[in-house]
Amino acid sequence: MTRVFALTNHKGGVGKSTSATNIAFGMVGLLRRAGAPNNRVLLIDTDSQGHATLVTTGRNDFGADDSLYSVLMADRQTAPQVLANAIVQSHWDIDLHVLPASSLLEGAEREMMGVAGAPYRLADPLSKLAGHYAAIVIDTRPSFSLMTEMALVAATDALIPVEPRYLETVGLLSVLSKINDIREGWRRPDLRVGGILVTKMDTRVRGHRHLLDELKNHNILGKMLCGVIPANEAVSYAHRDHQNVFSYDPKAPASKAYAQLVGTLMRRLVAGAAT
């Protein structure tokens, strides 16, 4: 079964899109270097802001016929084909494919409210295509919306980026409870919390160090910590150039931290495949 990683947190600006895009790109590279028979990774952008789409494709003008919106609006029989047709190649790598977001997704939530089976409208067609990919990464919007629910229903591993600030870590508990609700309420037994990822960590800030220590020592959250990404301006510069941070500056602290995270996730992926 292809693992589907969804970056999620209802808090805005915590590094969901940065992490989704760099993890997806990092996975392609790692799979290639490991000589894996299949290096393809699919990035799905479910956020109408389309930031992940913009940086990975250079475009933000996807619409009714060539984006995730088209998939959600398609009828059940044609949705897998519509999904396949909407996927584009990222300019970052030939093996990084993108299902683009569209600004129309904003209205899609309202259009689908009350439509039978709405939360499965991504998961169902995706299940027909998932085997084509070594891994799938989903970026979500900063809310507990129907769109985020759809992303989690399609996912196997929820990754939660969080900034090392007090109220951010308090919010973690509601994210965890939301994931639990989806697993039980929508009967997705495969959905688990794949990890908590601390982003924009500045070791010079005492409050950041304190929060990270608290997180590490927490009896439940500590075990979920899967990586720490430093605050690093290379990330913003890479975004400006529509690049990933590895290509922008492979030696940047954020590149090294994302490489380590990708290694951790891939080891789990391999371990999962063996069981």
Ligand X SMILES: Nc1ncnc2c1ncn2[C@@H]1O[C@H](COP(=O)(O)OP(=O)(O)OP(=O)(O)O)[C@@H](O)[C@H]1O
CB of 258 to ligand X, least distance (A): 9
Burial of 142 (0-12, 13-18, 19+ CB in 10 A): middle
Tell me whether residue 142 or residue 263 sits nearer to Mg ion (CB atom): 142
Q: Binding partner of residue 178 among Mg ion, ligand X, none, CB under 5 to 8 Å per kind?
A: none
- The residue from 26, 28, 31, 51 that contacts ligand X (CB under 6 A) is 51
Q: Which two tokens stand for residue 219?
A: 């009896």
CB of 85 to ligand X, least distance (A): 26
Q: Does 16 bind ligand X (CB under 6 A)?
A: yes
Report the residue from 38, 89, 174, 236 that binds ligand X according to the rule CB under 6 A.
236
Using the minimum distance from each CB to ligand X, give the nearer residue, 13 or 250. 13
CB 16, min distance to Mg ion, A: 5
CA 26 – CA 254 distance, rounded (Å): 12
Least distance (Å) between residue 162 CB and ligand X: 10
To the nearest 10 degrees (0 to 180), the angle between helices 16-33 and 253-274 is: 60
35: alpha, beta or left? (left if phi > 0; alpha if psi -120 to 50): left
| Residue number, 130 or 168, with CB nearest to ligand X | 168
Angle at 59 between CA 152 and CA 109, to 5 degrees: 35
Q: Which one of 8, 17, 19, 53 is in contact with Mg ion (CB under 5 A)? A: 17
For residue 97, list its beta bridge partners.
42, 89
Q: Give strand ranges (E) for the chain.
A: 3-7, 41-45, 88-90, 93-99, 135-139, 157-162, 192-201, 225-230
Q: Is 200 in the site for ligand X (CB under 6 A)?
A: yes
Tell me which residues in 40-69 interact with Mg ion (CB under 5 A). 51
Helix axes 233-240, 253-274, angle to 10 degrees: 90
- To ligand X, the closest distance from the beta carbon of 90 in angstroms equals 16
Name the site residues for ligand X (rule: CB under 6 A): 12-18, 47, 49, 51, 142, 199-200, 229, 231-232, 235-236, 239, 254
